[in-house]
């Protein structure tokens, strides 16, 4: 199961379709471009073990480059398109990247990066001269390398709480570029993705993120078609399912919230009958939101919990979830452990730090201290999330350890408050953070994006307080509400709380 085999068996089958433009790439074309890029990397000195960065918007070329890197032996470093030039430079320098493959869309950042990353060469889609990526690819043969080597990718953490760190995977177990990978088995046996190449898989999120990249390449290993949205739009997502007869899809809770906020007649105006499996992850999904999605789409909404580190995974199907609302399922990869601050395992029902026991563990690039911090004395690893298991082994997430607010000596987990806020019909998005407070240490602050800014103000604040009061103890109630037209959220659903916390900390400092 590999695109190389599918290019030989079904060369004209579509591997990639861009949802907006309809641009289509066959398995034959994908294979040829991948071979050209593998040769181009080698020609630029990026061979086995060398690192290069990939900064590019969702387009038809992205995954073709990914598959090329997988044959060159190189370590690819996908980079968020949201980052500033200094943030990109930090990742390139920290990863020792020799080359940045990018797009003219990032011309403003490229110029700054030339000075910040003097060790890097540049290849630019729609670029000029020797840096023109298309011309450089055209100058390479589309025949396979004589000595292909399996490449890997090193994902950097989102940096929502500080400097991002590279998650360095363990070296491949085999020199065979077509060797199987664990996610294929998990996709077929766990998530039910068909193994016969019939899947039409919708990816509405940016390809540089771990989930779209991991599941997208898995669909290609299975010979399916990946439909990629250039940019997520709630109604366009529904149109895409109908237009391309999508069978499988990948989402984050933010996508669900935005689709549910569409007017009922618009939501009902599309034929979604082809849609058989909808996976979601990346953040805890508010129970009312998921219940509404299952009522709308039927019992096809399945959830998993995992991370870029690849240390474990849980999975829960829709029917199981309806019987245990809020769970993210049982472990299907790795063994779960819930531990207290002293490292001792906790009994069912008690919140603690979630660890996975697994023989396959990564390290954090250039950061042995962070690696050590994530490890339990027994050799288990944590993603930094808090949660508990029930008596049957079903996991429930509470929040990120780093997001916890300590107000008046009491631990407040903002996810609970955020889940309630986004369930309000007038709220599109919400972030709850701890801001410095001279009396309490931290005060709970809610930064809210209303469905329409016309409703922002004292009246909406009073309505939200009244909505929250029956559900929250006094210490959890936000002391301050602020309304914004947009929150600093990644297109992959990750919320940059660090930016908000830094902003409120600076305000407190200025007022001191």
Rounded to 10 deg, the angle between the 414-422 and 458-468 helix axes is: 110
Report yes or no: 496 and 84 within 8 Å, Cβ to Cβ.
Answer: no
Q: 189 in a domain, yes or no? A: no
From first CA to last CA, the distance across the chain in angstroms is 62
* CATH assignment of the domain containing 464: 3.30.300.30
Q: What pLDDT was estimated at residue 159?
A: 55
Q: 73 in a domain, yes or no? A: yes
| Residue 162: pLDDT over 70 | no
Residue 164: φ, ψ to 5°: -70, 150
Q: 145 in a domain, yes or no? A: yes
CA-based nearest residue to 297, from 322, 335, 268: 268
Calculate the average pLDDT of the chain: 93
| Residue 261: pLDDT over 60 | yes
Report yes or no: 203 and 12 within 8 Å, Cβ to Cβ.
Answer: no
What residues have CB less than 8 Å from 438, skipping those under 6 apart?
A: none
User: Lowest mean pLDDT: which of 270-279, 405-414, 416-425?
Assistant: 405-414
Report the b/e string of 278-297 with b at 16+ CB within 10 A. bbbbbbbbbeebbbbbbeeb
Instruction: State mean pLDDT over 100-110.
Output: 96
Q: What pLDDT was estimated at residue 167?
A: 94
Query: Of 118, 149, 172, which one is at a domain's C-terminal end?
Result: 172
How do residues 263-320 score in pLDDT, each as one tens digit?
999 999 999 999 999 999 977 888 999 999 999 999 999 999 999 899 999 999 999 9
Q: 255 in a domain, yes or no? A: no
Percentage of the chain modeled with pLDDT above 70:
99
Entry pTM: 0.88
Report yes or no: 166 and 96 within 8 Å, Cβ to Cβ.
Answer: no
The C-alpha atoms of residue 421 and residue 257 are separated, in whole angstroms, by 11
DSSP character string of 14-75: EEEEETTT--EEEHHHHHHHHHHHHHHHHHTT--TT-EEEE---S-TTHHHHHHHHHHHT-E
Q: What pLDDT was estimated at residue 98?
A: 94
| Residue 181: pLDDT over 90 | no
Rounded to 10 deg, the angle between the 414-422 and 287-297 helix axes is: 40
* 416 membership: H or E segment, kind and range: helix 414-422
Q: What pLDDT was estimated at residue 411?
A: 82
What residues have CB less than 8 Å from 354, skipping those under 6 apart?
A: 336, 337, 338, 382, 383, 385, 386, 387, 395, 397
| Residue 185: pLDDT over 60 | yes
| Residue 183: pLDDT over 90 | no
Query: Of 146, 172, 198, which one is at a domain's C-terminal end?
Result: 172
Q: Which residues, listed in sequence order, are joined to residue 427 by a DSSP beta bridge? A: 450
The C-alpha atoms of residue 390 and residue 324 are separated, in whole angstroms, by 10
Ramachandran class of 282: left when φ > 0, alpha when ψ lies in -120 to 50, beta otherwise: left
Query: Of 140, 172, 204, which one is at a domain's C-terminal end?
Result: 172
How do residues 339-348 score in pLDDT, each as one tens digit?
999 999 999 9
* CATH assignment of the domain containing 148: 3.40.50.12780
* Distances in whole angstroms, Cα of residue 452 to Cα of each of 419, 483, 484: 19, 10, 10
Instruction: State mean pLDDT over 396-411.
Output: 84
Domain carrying residue 162: 27-172
User: Lowest mean pLDDT: which of 162-171, 386-395, 413-422?
Assistant: 162-171
3-class secondary-structure state, position 269? coil
The C-alpha atoms of residue 429 and residue 318 are separated, in whole angstroms, by 24
How do residues 18-70 score in pLDDT, each as one tens digit?
999 999 999 999 999 999 999 999 999 999 999 999 999 999 999 999 999 99
pLDDT band at 400 (very low <50, low <70, confident <90, very high): confident
3-class secondary-structure state, position 426? coil
Instruction: Give the number of other Cβ atoms within 10 Å of residue 28's Cβ.
Output: 18
Tell whether the torsion through CA atoms of 339, 342, 343 and 345 is positive or negative: negative
| Residue 439: pLDDT over 80 | no
How do residues 120-159 score in pLDDT, each as one tens digit?
999 999 999 999 999 999 999 999 999 999 999 999 986 5
The C-alpha atoms of residue 415 and residue 409 are separated, in whole angstroms, by 18
Q: 376 in a domain, yes or no? A: no
Would you give the DSSP letter of residue 304?
A: E
The C-alpha atoms of residue 259 and residue 261 are separated, in whole angstroms, by 5
Report yes or no: 433 and 500 within 8 Å, Cβ to Cβ.
Answer: yes
Tally the domains of the chain.
Answer: 2
Q: 165 in a domain, yes or no? A: yes
Q: 247 in a domain, yes or no? A: no
The C-alpha atoms of residue 18 and residue 59 are separated, in whole angstroms, by 7
Q: 114 in a domain, yes or no? A: yes
Copy the structure tokens of residue 155.
């994902």
How do residues 489-508 score in pLDDT, each as one tens digit?
877 677 888 889 889 888 88
């Amino acid at each position: 199961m590999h695109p190389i085999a599918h290019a030989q068996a079904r060369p004209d089958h579509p591997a990639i379709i861009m949802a907006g433009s309809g641009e289509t790439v066959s398995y034959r074309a994908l294979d040829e471009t991948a071979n050209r890029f593998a040769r181009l990397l080698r020609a630029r000195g990026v061979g086995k073990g060398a690192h290069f960065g990939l900064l590019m918007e969702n387009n038809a070329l992205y995954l073709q480059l990914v598959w090329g890197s997988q044959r060159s032996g190189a370590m690819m470093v996908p980079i968020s398109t949201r980052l500033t030039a200094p943030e990109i430079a930090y990742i390139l320098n920290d990863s020792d990247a020799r080359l940045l493959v990018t797009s003219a869309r990032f011309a403003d950042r490229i110029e700054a990066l030339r000075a910040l990353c003097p060790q890097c060469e540049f290849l630019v889609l729609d670029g000029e001269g020797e840096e023109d990526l298309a011309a450089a690819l055209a100058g390479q043969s589309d025949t396979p390398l004589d000595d292909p080597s399996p490449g890997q990718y090193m994902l950097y953490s989102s940096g929502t709480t500080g400097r991002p760190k590279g998650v360095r995977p363990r070296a491949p177990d085999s020199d065979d570029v077509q060797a199987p990978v664990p996610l294929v088995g998990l996709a077929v046996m766990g998530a039910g993705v068909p193994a016969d190449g019939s899947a039409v898989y919708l990816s509405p999120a940016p390809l540089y993120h771990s989930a779209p990249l991991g599941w997208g390449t898995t669909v290609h290993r299975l010979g399916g078609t990946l439909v990629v949205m250039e940019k997520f739009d709630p109604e366009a997502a529904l149109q895409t399912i109908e237009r391309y007869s999508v069978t499988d899809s990948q989402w984050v809770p933010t996508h669900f919230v935005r689709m549910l906020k569409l007017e009922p007649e618009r939501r009902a105006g599309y034929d979604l009958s082809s849609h058989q499996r909808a996976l979601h992850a990346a953040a805890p999904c508010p129970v009312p939101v998921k219940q509404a999605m299952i009522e709308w789409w039927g019992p096809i909404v399945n959830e998993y919990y995992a991370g870029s580190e690849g240390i474990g995974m849980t999975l829960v199907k829709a029917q199981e979830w309806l019987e245990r609302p809020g769970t993210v399922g049982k472990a299907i990869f790795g063994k779960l452990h819930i531990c207290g601050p002293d490292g001792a395992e906790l009994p069912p029902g008690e919140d603690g730090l979630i660890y996975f026991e697994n023989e396959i563990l990564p390290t954090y690039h250039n950061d042995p201290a962070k690696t050590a911090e994530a490890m339990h004395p027994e050799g288990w690893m944590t993603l930094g999330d808090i949660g508990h298991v029930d008596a049957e082994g079903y996991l429930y997430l509470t929040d990120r350890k780093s997001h916890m607010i300590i107000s008046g000596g009491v631990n407040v987990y903002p996810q609970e408050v955020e889940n309630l806020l986004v369930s309000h019909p007038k709220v599109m998005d919400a972030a709850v953070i701890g801001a410095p407070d001279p009396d309490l240490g931290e005060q709970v602050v809610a930064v809210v994006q209303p469905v329409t800014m016309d409703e922002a103000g004292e009246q909406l604040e009073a309505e939200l307080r009244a909505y929250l009061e029956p559900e929250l103890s006094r210490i959890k109630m936000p002391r301050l509400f602020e309304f914004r037209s947009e929150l600093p959220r990644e297109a992959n659903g990750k919320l940059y709380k660090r930016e908000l916390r830094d902003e409120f900390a600076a305000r407190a400092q200025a007022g001191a």
